[in-house]
Amino acid sequence: MLKSNNDMTKHICLISLLLSATAMTIANAAVPHACNLNFNPENGWKIHRLKESNKVTDHIWQQPADEELTRSLAQWKPGSLTEQAIFAAVEDVGVATGRNVSDPEDLYEHWQGMIIYNNSLYFTHVTWSQLGPGYKKKLFRNFMNSIVQSYKKDGCRLPDVFMMMNIESVFPSAQKEVETSNKSSSSTTARAPVMCIARNVMDAKKCTLVPNPYFKTLNAWQKMTAKIRRNCPMNLPTWRQRQDRALWRGKCGFSSCESSGPRMKLGMLSACGDNSQYLDVAFKEETGCHRMEIWVREKNCPWLTDNTSQLINKVLKGAVIDQASFCQAKYLVNMPGQYQGSYSRHLQYIMPTGSAILIWETLSEFDEFYYHHLRPGKDFLWVHGDKDNSSKSYQNATGSKHIVEVVKQLRQNERRAWRLGKAARRFFQHNLSADALKKFWLETIHMYAKLQGFAPHVPAEACAMTRDAVSDRIKQMVALREA
């Protein structure tokens, strides 16, 4: 039946309204919203999109999920942080550690600036070298780019924010308090909240801990840990088939006789000879090991003994073990890092294996962003050596018997060792998994945006993390080399 002109007009108007509503829905869907990502370690992400970004920042501001962020919140008030204060803090560190503050290349060698502006990521103080600080900066850029891209994929809009990140192995502690160059900025006892990947426990006010860049990218970290979980089933009958020894593989680089890291490692390794039924510990086979052997013999450190050469020859022959296969052992050892027995990124790789984690206790006490969540006796066990540092023997100074005794006790209580492994894996899921890192950085970004009393901008020298920008930079480097 034919409709009247009025009916046709009504239908046309209705169709137009429907098309307009559909177009608005599509347009709104394409616009990123601020996100409050509620992470459940057992079930994954639940994404709640909020139209007003201040609701997200207020929520995170009132209920920070991490003690590390809480400490920074207590130190600074919303809107009180200035860009000048951040750079003054960087300069303070440079003065205290002997940097040439008038030479930007020297002052910012271990610093990386990060800017989020208009939901895009930029970096300043970029070093394109593939060695030393340049390599760490590259890792950090790739890691943060993967984090930000994952938020954008979820449809999130991030606040504009500016951060300065120190990528040294350990945040350089000031030997003495120095006055800031800008009197209106924070004093050295309450530094501007710059970022760092590790620090001494005495420096809690001087930088805010964030994840180290050795997680590589979010996707790579997720794939690697998924592979570990597949290779490492946690049912008790399967777990009982694992090797009944404590396993450790690590680098053999040495820096100085005064460095406590090498001394502790040699102390543990010295126990292996007579206790091979309890310990499978060795340096990884790598090209630098022969140089370490020559170095140790020539330096004649006071803590070395006559059997050092025999020990070194023995421990250099350890078989290389893939990280995803670490769960072949019931117990895994984490040794201190190279720099004065500092933090070791090795720990984040062994936590998801389901093996009982044995952490070598150090006197120096360095922190990473997740250490304060670890529970001794539940998530891991301490092992330690003789703390009598007056001894001139490296065996006595570091000790080697305690770890053997701990392994013997765990053998006698297999279920306890199994429960320790389960707790370590659960800890990893809550604090170190890809989703947990994603949540941590989201809250950190929103918190710092709330602290800042200035509008971040993108300087001309900033590097945009886009495929074209990186490609153009590589072409420039090639052209410079050819010239």
SS (H, E, C) the chain: CCCCHHHHHHHHHHHHHHHHHHHHHHHHHHCCEEEEEEEECCCEEEEEEECCHHHHHHHHHHCCCCHHHHHHHHHCCCCCECHHHHHHHHHHHHHHCCCCCCCHHHHCCCEEEEEEECCEEEEECCCCCCCCHHHHHHHHHHHHHHHHHHHHHCCECCCCEEEEEECCCCCCCCCCCCCCCCCCCCCHHHCCCCEECCEEHHHCCCCEECCCHHHCCHHHHHHHHHHHHHHCCCCHHHHCCCEEEEEEEECCCCCCCCCHHHHHHHHHHCCCHHHCCCEEEEECCCCCHHHHHHHHHHHCCCCCCCCHHHHHHHHCCCCCCCHHHHHHEEEEEECCCCCCCCCCCHHHHHHHHCCEEEEECCCCCEECCCHHHCCECCCEEEECCCCCCCCCCHHHHHCCHHHHHHHHHHHHCHHHHHHHHHHHHHHHHHHCCHHHHHHHHHHHHHHHHHHECCCCCCCCCCEECCHHHHHHHHHHHHHHHHC
Count of domains forming the chain: 2
What pLDDT score does 308 carry? 58
Same domain as 167, residue 303: no
The reply to whether 11 falls in a domain is: no
Q: Indicate if the pLDDT at residue 232 is higher than 80.
A: yes
Q: In this structure, are 144 and 202 located in the same domain?
A: yes
**pLDDT over 70 at 179, yes or no:** no
Identify the pLDDT of residue 90.
92
CA nearest neighbour of 382 among 351, 403, 413, 354: 403
Q: In this structure, are 404 and 461 located in the same domain?
A: no
Mean pLDDT (whole number) for 150-164: 94
pLDDT digits (tens, 9 = 90+) for 74-123: 677 889 889 999 999 899 888 888 899 999 999 999 999 999 999 999 99
- Residue 295 within any structural domain of the chain: yes
Do 79 and 200 lie in one domain? The reply is yes
Tokens of 68: 């590390």
In terms of domains, do 243 and 177 share one? no
pLDDT of 376 > 70? The answer is: yes
Q: Is residue 6 part of a domain?
A: no
Across 30-49, average pLDDT:
49
> 415 and 457: one domain?
no
* C-alpha span between 57 and 453 (Å, rounded): 14
Q: Is 70 in the same domain as 157?
A: yes
Per residue in 430-471, pLDDT tens?
Answer: 999 999 999 999 989 998 898 899 999 999 989 988 655 555
Asked if the structure places residue 444 within a domain, the reply is no
Show the tokens assigned to 25: 């829905």
- The answer as to whether 460 is a domain residue is yes
Instruction: Enumerate the β-bridge partners of residue 366.
Output: 200
Higher-scoring residue by pLDDT: 429, 52 = 429
Q: Specify whether 429 is located in the same domain as 458.
A: no
Please indicate, yes or no, if residue 337 is contained in any of the structural domains.
yes
pLDDT at 78: 86
Examine the domain organization and report whether 300 and 193 are in the same domain. Answer: no
Show the CA angle centred on residue 370, arms to residues 430 and 45, nearest 5°.
Answer: 30
Among residues 115, 122, 117, 93, which one has the least CA distance to residue 106? 93
Closest CA to 195 of 470, 458, 444: 444
pTM of the model as a whole = 0.79
**For residue 85, what are the domain limits?**
64-216+453-482
Is the CB of residue 262 less than 8 Å from the CB of residue 255?
A: yes
Q: Is the pLDDT of residue 23 over 70?
A: no
8 Å CB contact between 194 and 164: yes
Query: Which of 183, 184, 181, 203 shows the shortest CA–CA distance to 194?
Result: 203
Question: Does a structural domain hold residue 256?
Answer: yes
Name the average pLDDT for the chain.
74
- pLDDT tens-digit readout, 188-210: 445 567 899 988 777 766 788 89
Classify residue 472: in a domain, yes or no: yes
Q: Between the CA of residue 294 and those of 97, 264, 338, what are the distances in Å?
A: 31, 19, 18
Q: Are residues 417 and 275 in the same domain?
A: yes
Rounded Cα–Cα distance for residues 225 and 97 (Å): 37
Is there a contact between 332 and 357 (Cβ–Cβ < 8 Å)?
yes
Phi and psi torsions of 449, nearest 5°: -65, -35
Residue 299 shares a structural domain with residue 168: no
